[in-house]
Structure 1
């Protein structure tokens, strides 16, 4: 999946927490969110535009994160580990970077 397909898919599945998301879909979308937020913060130094953008995209970010964890056969609820500094962050980054589980798993068929 390329950059534009990833963004399109994530916004089409805005609040869809079911199914699976490939590694490339997740990481391209995260890159898009980072770049867009950085650009908006550069344009508006108060950070208001970047903050509004982040607020508007929190749901698709959580949804693609849950689908990505599903792709590695883990519950989407494990995203709550983000609230645990360092250890939780490291675990989630490792899990998000892992290869997809081939075939079917308890969440859906292969992405």
Structure 2
């Protein structure tokens, strides 16, 4: 699953806790959400960064003045970070509200990713164990999923088979020799046909 398809699929299913999610679906969605959050938070954090840089420059100027005049350093006024935050209050609230849906989408795809590796979604709460919990959860999310069907849904058996040489993206699946049998009589006939001397 590609990045755009994974992002759209996960945003459409924020409360789908059943089923499985492939590694590509989970990691593409996680990357997309990280990039969106950085892009959304950058304009909100720039005024704080500018205020910090201006304060650092003012402090450096005050030290230079004190050095040149052989006097004590007169500290500059601290930046009004609270005023900056209050001026952006509406934007921070909008950001928080807009991040609710992606938060649930990320939780649900994480649960489905745990399902893909054969674990219950309740394993998410291992993150509450300090230091060890986040590392274990990361390991659970990184390990490859179970290829075959597990208790959470069908697997990805088709990925095991090589692609067709015609250039098709459909996997080459071997035929099931028993697929055409419809009844017990057909199965008995096949068994007798394969037994020599009967």
Assess if the C-alpha contact under 8 Å between 2:116 and 2:146 holds in 1.
yes
Ranked by relative contact order (alpha carbons within 8 Å, sequence separation 6 or more), the top structure is 1
Shift of 1:2: 0.8
The CA deviation at 1:14 is 1.6
The answer as to 2:136 corresponding to 1:91 is: yes
**Which of residues 87, 100, 106 is equivalent to 2:151?**
106
Relative distance call for 1:31 and 1:40 in structure 2 (3 A) is same
- Distance, in Å, in 2 between the alignment partners of 1:67 and 1:39 is 27
Contact preservation (8 Å) 2:11, 2:101: no
Give me the TM-score of the superposition, normalised by structure 1. Answer: 0.90
Deviations 1:41-77 (A, max 9, x none): 1022357154334333211111000000000000001
Aligned to 2:161: none
Alpha-carbon offset, residue 28 of structure 1: 0.7
The correspondence for 1:57, drawn from 79, 98, 102, is: 102
Distance in 2 (alpha carbons) for counterparts of 1:43 and 1:9: 28
Instruction: Give the Cα separation in 1 of the matches to 2:95 and 2:41.
Output: 5
Runs of 4+ in 1 over 3 A off after TM superposition: 49-54
Give 1:23's aligned residue: 23
> Pairwise CA RMSD of aligned residues?
1.6
1:41 & 1:74 partners in 2: Cα distance?
34
Task: Report the CA distance between 1:85 and its aligned residue.
Answer: 2.3
Is contact 2:14-2:101 (8 Å) kept?
A: no
TM-score using structure 2 length: 0.52
1:3-18 to structure 2, matched below 5 A, reads 3-18=3-18
- Displacement of 1:26: 0.3
Segments of 5+ residues of structure 1 without an aligned counterpart are: none
Aligned residue in 2 for 1:75: 120
2:182 counterpart residue number: none
Partner of 2:32: 32
